Structure 1
Amino acid sequence: MRILFLPYHGYGHIHPQLAVASMLRTHGHEVFMAGTTFFQGYVTQQGFSYTPLQSVPFGMNFEDWVNQTKKKRWVYFASLKDRITDGLYVHREKELRAVLDAVRPDVIVLDGTQATDFIVLYPLLKQRGIRVAVLHAMLPTHVLPGRPPVNSDVFPSDEEGCEDALWKLEEKQTKKQERQKFKYAGFDDVYILSRRMKKNRVPEKYWSSLRSLLNFSIDCIPQYIIAPRAFDFPDFKNQPYHHYLGFLVGTKMTSSNSREFAEALPRLLERKQREQRKLLYCAFGTLEGDQKKLITLFLNKLIAIVKQTPHLLIVSTKQKNELTSPLPDNVYVFDFVQQTLLLQHTDLFISHGGFNSVSESIQAEVPMLLYPVHDAFDPRGNSTRVVYHGMGLRGDVQEPEAEVLEKISELLGNPLYKQCLRKMNEANEACTAERFIAAFQPVLVD
C-alpha cells in the first residue's frame, strides 16, 4: 500500500507519526508525508519522502496568523475576506489535490488535531477510492460519559467537578463562537466548517456530536491513539473504532543544536556517579506569551531550591538569558537536549505535562513533577492521569519554594512512584507492533 501521512505542525505530532510510519514501512508499505516546510529536513533525515505545504488547515482560526505572516497591511479585512471567500480552504484543497496526484495514496492518515482536512479531502476520497484513518498524538479531545475533558485537572470520581469542567468547556467555546460571529459578521469557524460540509456533501455522521476541544472531530472512521488503554481513566465506554496503540518509541533528534549537550553529558554523568547525586531534569516545551514569564519565574525559583540541595539539575530552555546569573555549580542549562537519552539517567523529570514528555518519562520509568501551564489542550489531563496512576505529582508554578522542595523530596524518596511506572510499562508491553498492524489491517483491506 501507498500511505500518506498528514501531520499537524509540532514535534509532539511529528514523532508519533514517524513511529507509526516506521512500523508500516517495516511491514512493506510505501510511506509518504506532507506538512509544513519547517519539518522537511527533519523528516527526510529519517528516510521518508516529504512534500512541503504552504497552506494551513481551514476552520481553525488561522486567518489572522496567515495574513500577519504575509505582512498584509490590513490584517482584519484580509482575514474577513478569507472567511467570506473560503480562502484558506481553497488554498488547502489545491495543495492537497496536488499531493494526491503526485503520491497516488491508497490510504491517508490524518492527524486528529487537523481533522478539518477530512472535509477538504472527502470528495477526492470518494472519487479515488482512498481510505482514511485518524492518528491522535494525544488522548482524544472529545468528551465521553465518565471521562473529564482532556484539558481538565478533575478526576473521574469527582462527578460534580466533571460536570463543572464540561460546563466551563461549553461556556468557553460558546463565548469564542459568539466573539467570532461578532468580529467576522457571522463567518465564525463553525459556520465555515458547516458551509463546506454541505458544499462537499459530507454526511453528517462524520461530524462527531460529542463535545470536543476542537471545532471539528471525526466519527465513524478508524482512529488510533498513541497510548495504552491503561494510561487513560477506567470505567468509561470507549468508541468502538478507537484503538490504543501504546507509547510508541519516537525517533531520535539528530539536530546539530545538541552538540553542546552531547559534549557536556559524559562529564555530568561522571559527576553524578562519582558524587552519588540525584539528577533532576526540567523542560517546559514550547512557550507563548505570558507562559514565558510564569515559567522563567518558576525556573529561577527551582534553581534557588536546587542550589540548597546536593542534587544536580539540567534545564532545557531557550530563555537562558533570563535565568539567575551566575548559575550555581550544580545547575546546567542547555538550549536543547536529547530528551530520550537524558531520561535514561534522570531521577526526576519536571515538566509541563506534554504528552510526548509524559510518555517518554513513563518508558524510562522516571517519576514526574508536573506543572501544566497550557490550558487549551492536554497537559492538565495528562498530569491528572499521571497523579491518578501514582506515577508522579502535580503542582502550581506559583507555589512557594517549600512546597516545590517537599514534592521533590517525596518523589525522590518514595519507591512507590517507580513501582507504578513499572506497572504502566508492563501494561504497555502488550502494545506490540504486530498488535498495531492487526488493528490497522481494516484500513489496508478493501
Structure 2
Amino acid sequence: MKTLTQFPYNNVLVIGLAKSGEAAATLLHNSGVRVRVNDRKPLEENPQAQKLQAMGIEVITGSHPITALDDMEYVVKNPGIPYDNELIQVAIDRGLPVVTEVELAYMLMQDHLIGITGSNGKTTTTTLVYEMLKASGKSTHIAGNIGNVASHVAQTTEQEDVMVLELSSFQLIGTETFKPHIAVFLNLYEAHLDYHKTMDHYSYSKARLFANQTEDDYLVYNKDQSVVQQLVTTAKSILVPFSQKEKLNNGVWKDGQYLYFKSEPIIELQRIMLEGKHNLENIMAAVAAALLSGATVEGIRHVLTTFAGVKHRMQFVKEVHGRRFFNDSKATNLLATQNALQSFTQPTILLAGGLERGNALDDLAPFLRNVKAMILFGETAPKFKQLAIQNGIDTYELVDNVKQAAERAYHLSEEGDVILLSPACASWDQYRTFEERGDMFMDAVHTLK
C-alpha cells in the first residue's frame, strides 16, 4: 500500500468520518502524520472512531469543539459537511487549508487520472469509461463519489494504472492542487443550492475539475450546453467537445446512423444497448475520455453493445404480469426524473418524493404526459400531490415509504404499464442513501405476487 512520502504537514485534523474520513485518517496515520479525528457521533455509537482510536489516533467525538483545531496545520473534511459549519469557518479564518480526501488521492497518484463531473450522468459515464478501459486490456480502477474512496483506492495502484473518478461539487470545492489528466464536464443544472447557496458557487465548485489543468491535459465537455461552454473558456487544457447537434472535427458527434470521434465512425447507433437521449450524451463523453486514455475501438464497441446501465439509474428490475418496474432511485433532482420520464411512451405510474430542499416542481409538468398515476412519499409528497392535481392526474396516493409505493403502484396498474421509481429528490429525509431507497423498492418488487 502506498503512503504519502512528501506530505508537507505534520499535524492534521480530519473532520467527519464515514468512509472518506476513515480512509483519510488511516492514510495520514500510516504516512507518519499526527492525526486528530473529530466526528459528531458519540464514541459508543461510532465503530469507525473506535477503530481509529485503537490504532493510536486521537479521537474527539460528540460535537465539533473549536479546540479540535489547536496545533493543527491542515484540515481534511468530509464532503458532506457544509462550509458554514462553525469549525470549518474558524479553520478558514485561521488560514488553514481545508480539503477533501480526493486531494490526498491526487498526492498519491498524479498520473493517468480521469475526473468526471456534472449535475447528472456522472455514475453512468464513470462506469462506462471504466468498463471501456477494462475491455481494452488496461489496468483500471474506479473510485470517488461512486462509492469507492479515492484516497484508499489510490494506495493500491501501480505506476501505469488508470483511475476513473466520479467527482461531486462537494468533493471538488475542497481541492487545491488536484488535476486530472483527462477531465469530463457533462452538464450543469441548478442543484445542491442548500449546500452551495448560489449557482455561482456551485458553478465555481464544478469548474475546480479543470482549474489546475495545463496544455498537456484534456477537457471533454458538453458543447450543446451554453453554461458549460462559457465555463470552459477559462481552461488551459486541450478542449474536446461532444455534441448531439452538430458535426465536430475535434470531438464526438453523431449523424442519423453512426457515432463518430472526429472523422472516425465508432459504432452504429442502433447497436448501442443503453437507451435514452441523456444517455447518448453520457456515451459520447465516455467514448472521448476512453479513447484519449488509450482504449481500443473494439473495447468501446463491446461495452456499448452489452452495457445496459448501472444499479439505481434507470435499472430494469422485473416484469410482473405485464408491468415493467424500473429503479431510478439515483434521480435526486428534477432533471434526472425528466430524463427518466422521456424514456417511456407507455402509460407510467411515477413513484416520487423525498427531501425538501425548497425547489419548485413546475419544470416536471411538461414531462407528465404519459403519467397516469403518482404514488408519493417523503417530505415533498404534498408538493407532488399539488403537481398531480394541477396537471390533471386524478389518481395519486401518499404512502409512508417506497415499499408501500411499489405495492400500491402494482395494485393500481394494468398490463403494459411502466412503474417507475424516479424520486426527483434526495433520500435523506427517510433513508441514509439513495441505494438504500432503491434496494427497498427492488425488494418490494421481488415479493409481489
Shared fold (TM-score greater than 0.5)? Answer: no
Instruction: Flag the structure with higher helix content.
Output: 1
Comparing both chains, which one has the higher relative contact order based on Cα–Cα distances under 8 Å and sequence gaps of 6 or more?
A: 1
TM-score (norm 2): 0.31
